[in-house]
Structure 1
Amino acid sequence: MSLVTLQLGQCGNQVGTSLFNVVADEINRQNGVLAEDFQEVFFRPVSDRHSGQGAQQHARAVLVDMEQKAVAAALRPARGASWGYAPCSSLTQQSGSGNNWARGYCEYGPKHTPDVIDLVRREVEAADYLGGILTLQSAAGGTGSGFGAAVMEGLRDELPSTLFLNHTVWPFDSGEVIVQSYNTLLTLQHLTASCDAIILAENSALHRTCQRMLNIARPSLPDLNGVIAHDLASVLLPAKVRGGRRLSLLSGLLVALGGHPAYKLASLQSVPQLPASSVDFTSFAWPGLLKRLRQMLITGAFMEEGLDWSATPSPHQQHTWQRPHNKALSALLTLRGSGASTADTHSFTDPALFPSWQAEPLTVTSTSVPFARCEMSASLLSCNQACAQPAARMQTRATSMLAARAYVHQYEAFGLGLSDLQEAVCSATEVVGRYAMLG
């Protein structure tokens, strides 16, 4: 089984490179403990040693950006790396989208989507069995978000039975791009129609994690991408469903998320969160790790520090965004390390954590193989109410901007009108409303 990764825009290419580095490091660290067939999930042997530039294997990935800088950096092999990207696995142009979603979607989409589909098809045909496609992108810009949305629609039409898991990086609330509220809601609207599940990662949460948990005073983009890659690898690396077989990618993962067409947003939380230099001096115990992870689910927090321990779930509570007592539609709990198969996860079966109508909301997987040099670690991938909070905040800003018709002309210049922006706002309102109903 193989997983093809599609890296869209600067953010998607940087996150993808970090993810493959983490996966390759884990495979090398385990020295054969991770099955060889799993290595083939992410990598394939280099057919031409000269084209590999020293790499022993190529990532099953397609790299796309309308500018060359990010892709060129990714294609440049790191010294001593055991893997690399195939030289013919990328598509670049000379000019970006200028953070204009409409330009990426309406101009570059029709022009270059067929070429991207051809590259993806080549990777799919190189796989003995395709487990699905993982797409990586941002939501705020023009290429990764706008052109990425067009590519996803084209791939959905071309590969209708293929499973698509999307990872989207959500912008800082303080603003990276002046029109990011429009861009993010347009991205969300189109991805919910073309993907089977969307994992949202907020830049603000990643930044706080780097500062407070990893002791990085001034986090850089590689630092934030490292957190994303760590969390993604924690659920993508092999683990067995308790009492069953190894969790299959991507079907088993998506089934664990509930597979409900109205609830596609998911979040990813993990413990412990600590600097690599502190791992050797840290003691691990399952009760403490799982207690913190459960409270992170209840409060919708993405960081272990500063948890509200007074928050307790209630079967009939009224959910509010200001003080969320978070409910999840479904969750995948993954335990890695010593004693993972026997760790007590009973606290995650509390009916108050899930809607009353959800019959089997929790899936638990485990493996004795440690992760990231930690004796014990756990991650929680869940479809929960906190996922909709960023969309709720962005919807409020976009509504205010639309009332003043702010920057609408920039989208109209590429064929996207006021009604399209209003439709994206309405779509976000519906998403937020559906998640609020889980409470």
Structure 2
Amino acid sequence: MSVIGLFYGQCGNQICDSFYSNIYNDLSLNPKHCDYYNESLNKWFNVTKTKKLVPKSILIDTESKTIPHKKSCYQFKNIVSKSCGGSANNWAFGYFHQSKLLLNDTLECVRKELEKSDLLSSFLNVFSSSGGTGSGVGSCIIEQLKNEFPNKTFVNALILPYSNGEVVIQSYNSLLTLSKIYSISDAILVFENDRLHYNCINSLNIKDVTFDDINNLISHQLLSVFQPLNTQTSDLLTKLCDNSHKLLQIRSAPLSKLDCASNCKSLLTSISRQSRFDFLQKKQHKSLSTALICRGVYNPNESDLKPFKDCNSPKTLQLYHQKRKLFNLENCLTVVSNTNNICGSLDSILQDARTLYKFGAYLHHYEKFGVRETHFKTAFDTCDTILNNYKNL
């Protein structure tokens, strides 16, 4: 089962570089031609007649300088890049203008990849919501792909910007992105730069956090879900969602060999309770559904699972276990949850966007590319509905 990855803009392409490097490293740590190795290889790479590896990916950007360099161990072949000066950090410019320069070439690359694949599991789209290419071009291409391949599974990895980001109109871009992709997504994996930065410092002991560190963490968390399991990842993720709740969060951590049960229980407890980034401080954390993925020799028992069963009914807690190590870690635990913890980030984006909109700030940058008052009203209404659905869990 193949996964075709599409990576948009500077953020998406930087994650792509880290993502496939980590896949290759994980492959190199496993015996060749074992089931895990073969399944991972077939999921992510095409193998040429000369035994070269070519990722089943498409790199899309309006600036060629962000495209990853050629690797000695594999090479990206599907690159859709136009040196047209970026998308001005503007969703409207990316969606209505720049996407026209990239759409046909991207669709052609997708068709060629589909011809090479025996069976497609899903599309994985990776992009940031803050700028113009990832958010605007990404939204347009995903929309067109959904129209052309309506029966395929679409998993979108959406990276939300720092709450105090450098792009003054990032809340507009995030608002328009989420409202556009929500209905056409089967699952949306949400990554928050603030939380990722916090985890790099407090969990990984990284003093001076860079975007490379954050991108590597995103890659590890994605692969802790997407590397081979006893089920298809697309099935796992779509089972966690319904039409009103499609936003998923990933938490993962390596577990040491010694005192593994204690570490596991501590991680489960910390994930299930409020953190400094959670919005509902006075309301109980609640999840619509949760998947627990254990990799390595350790498999949690009933006592370890209690923190999750306290806020999930047994029917909404899915358990998966893969004995094969990930990145040569003795044990790794991943939690994928559809939870009301996302309310904090959604509420912040909506409040920031409303403040700008109330005073008409920067609207002329959007109007000149076709985004009118009705577009913003629809976007606000859609995101208000999403937020209220999670508040009412």
- TM-score bracket for this pair, using the shorter chain length: over 0.9
How many Å separate the matches in 1 of 2:168 and 2:156? 24
Q: Give 1:77's aligned amino acid.
A: K
Counterpart for residue 53 of structure 2: 57
1:412 matches 2:378: no
8 A Cα contact 2:261 2:300, kept in partner: no
8 A Cα contact 2:272 2:308, kept in partner: no
8 A Cα contact 2:264 2:300, kept in partner: no
How many Å separate the matches in 2 of 1:300 and 1:426? 28
Distance 1:64 1:338, change over 3 A: same
8 A Cα contact 2:292 2:319, kept in partner: yes
- TM-score normalised over the length of structure 2: 0.93
8 A Cα contact 1:389 1:432, kept in partner: no
1:384 matches 2:366: no
Q: Give 1:93's aligned amino acid.
A: S
Counterpart for residue 5 of structure 1: 5
How many Å separate the matches in 2 of 1:294 and 1:20? 31
Q: CA deviation at 1:348?
A: 5.2
Counterpart for residue 313 of structure 1: none
Which structure 2 residues correspond to residues 190-229 of structure 1 after superposition, within 5 A?
Answer: 190-229=180-219
Counterpart for residue 379 of structure 2: 424
8 A Cα contact 2:162 2:192, kept in partner: yes
How many Å separate the matches in 2 of 1:28 and 1:112? 34
Counterpart for residue 85 of structure 1: 76
How many Å separate the matches in 2 of 1:349 and 1:226? 27
Distance 1:272 1:249, change over 3 A: closer
8 A Cα contact 1:200 1:267, kept in partner: yes
Structure 1 residue ranges without an equivalent (≥5): 50-54, 240-245, 274-278, 303-318
Percent identity between the aligned chains? 27
Counterpart for residue 253 of structure 1: 237
8 A Cα contact 2:290 2:317, kept in partner: yes
Deviations 1:302-322 (A, max 9, x none): 8xxxxxxxxxxxxxxxx9634
Distance 1:227 1:320, change over 3 A: closer
Deviates more, 1:59-68 or 1:101-110: 101-110
- TM-score normalised over the length of structure 1: 0.84
Deviations 1:359-401 (A, max 9, x none): 7211110011122332121000111111232111110111111
Q: Give 2:390's aligned amino acid.
A: Y
Deviations 1:161-198 (A, max 9, x none): 00010101100001220101100011111110221111
Number of residue pairs matched? 391
Counterpart for residue 124 of structure 2: 134
Which structure 2 residues correspond to residues 44-193 of structure 1 after superposition, within 5 A?
Answer: 44-47=46-49, 49=50, 56-71=52-67, 74=68, 76-78=69-71, 81-86=72-77, 88-193=78-183
Counterpart for residue 272 of structure 2: 297
Structure 2 residue ranges without an equivalent (≥5): none
How many Å separate the matches in 2 of 1:284 and 1:227? 24
Distance 1:20 1:416, change over 3 A: same
How many Å separate the matches in 2 of 1:214 and 1:324? 29
Q: Give 2:47's aligned amino acid.
A: P
Q: CA deviation at 1:38?
A: 2.8
Q: CA deviation at 1:291?
A: 3.3
How many Å separate the matches in 1 of 2:58 and 2:279? 41
